[in-house]
Amino acid sequence: MKFFIDTANIEQIKEAQSLGILDGVTTNPSLVAKEGIVGREALLKHYVKICNIVDGDVSAEVIATDFNGMIKEAEELSALHPNIVIKVPIIKEGLKAIKYLSDMGIKTNCTLVFSPGQAILAAKAGATYLSPFIGRLDDIASDGVDLIRKIVSIYGYYGFQTEVLAASIRSTQHIIQCAEAGADVVTSPLDSILGLLKHPLTDLGLQKFLSDYNSTVGKK
Ligand code: E4P
């Protein structure tokens, strides 16, 4: 199972990288906007900065919604660094772009996925990653984790190579549920990743070990 961090924040990416468990980064235009990046040139530099921190796939999203525009952007983005993965929305033009890029050997991340049908099309087109947005489904009283389960099972039947990248993670519990559902990758905010470390019995146990040590072996 791969762990990606879902942010464009350099400090958070560095912190996740320092844990030694980070396999990649996902960004989107909203995450990039939060970092106060102004202008295309600054954005491209920001992507390179991220690629220089993490030795793994870094998703950068296209803004164009037509095939030619998407391919032009994809070429610009993939020239930045070998780890760049082109994030493309699952719309008709996006599907064509994924097929084209996959034939060219360029990695893609098919985004804004909310149904098994979209997942099948993306896999047929040769997407490297598929990003079902589970939190946004939960937000509308649907079941995001169930979508992961369905897609993993469909991909299993047919041997599709596309990796299921659970996105729109809202909690630590989501990470566990996606792992149980068989997601290949989970992309999460830093807090949700750090939440995996937490257990009150770990804290209590450590406290006791330290106080026992200090009252005996460590006594001065
Ligand atoms: C990542 O690839 C997605 O763009 C992201 O997880 C969406 O998350 P959100 O639903 O919290 O905006």
Q: What is the pLDDT of residues 65-93, one digit of tens each?
A: 999 999 999 999 999 999 999 999 999 99
For residue 7, pLDDT beyond 80: yes
Q: Residue 16 contacts by C-beta under 8 Å, 6 or more apart in sequence?
A: 5, 22, 190, 193
Enzyme catalytic residues: 87
pLDDT at 220: 77
Mean pLDDT of the chain: 98
Rounded to whole angstroms, how far apart are CA atoms 175 and 122? 23
The number of residues making up the chain comes to 220
Q: How confident is the model at residue 40 (pLDDT cuts 50, 70, 90)?
A: very high
Query: 181 pLDDT exceeds 80?
Result: yes
* Over residues 111-132, mean pLDDT: 98
Cβ neighbour number for residue 92 with a 10 Å cutoff? 10
Number of Cβ atoms within 10 Å of the Cβ of 51? 19
Cβ partners under 8 Å of residue 27, min gap 6: 6, 7, 8, 47, 50, 58, 59, 60, 61, 87
Mutate to test the pocket of ligand 1, among 9, 168, 185 (most ligand atoms within 8 A of CB): 168
**Dihedral angle of Cα 39, 136, 10, 162, to the nearest 10 degrees:** -90
Q: How far is CA 148 from the centre of its chain?
A: 14
Which helix (H) or strand (E) is 95 found in, with range?
A: helix 92-103
Q: What percentage of the chain exceeds 70 in pLDDT? A: 100
pLDDT of residue 43: 98
Q: What separation in Å is there between the alpha carbon of 112 and the centre of ligand 1?
A: 8
Closest atom of ligand 1 to 139 CA is 10
pLDDT at 154: 98
Contact 88/62 with Cβ under 8 angstroms? yes
- Report CA dihedral (127, 4, 42, 106) to the nearest 10 degrees: -20
The pLDDT score that the predictor gives to residue 134 is 98
Asked whether the predicted pLDDT for residue 171 surpasses 80, the reply is yes
Ligand 1 contact, 135 CB (< 6 A)? yes
C-alpha to C-alpha distance for 106 and 87, rounded to whole angstroms: 11
**Do residues 50 and 8 touch, judged by C-beta distance below 8 A?**
yes
| 146-150 average pLDDT score | 98
Q: Report the predicted TM-score, pTM, of the whole model to 2 decimal places.
A: 0.96
How many Å apart are CA 220 and CA 218, to the nearest integer? 6
- Which of 78, 76, 74 is closest to 88 using CA atoms? 74
> Which pLDDT score is estimated for 98?
98
Per-residue pLDDT for 23 more than 90? yes
Expressed in angstroms and rounded, the spacing between residue 6 Cα and the centre of ligand 1 is 7
State yes or no: pLDDT of 215 exceeds 80.
yes
pLDDT-based confidence at 219, cuts 50/70/90? confident
Q: What's the token pair of residue 144?
A: 């995001």
Question: Which residue matches tokens 């530099």?
Answer: 45
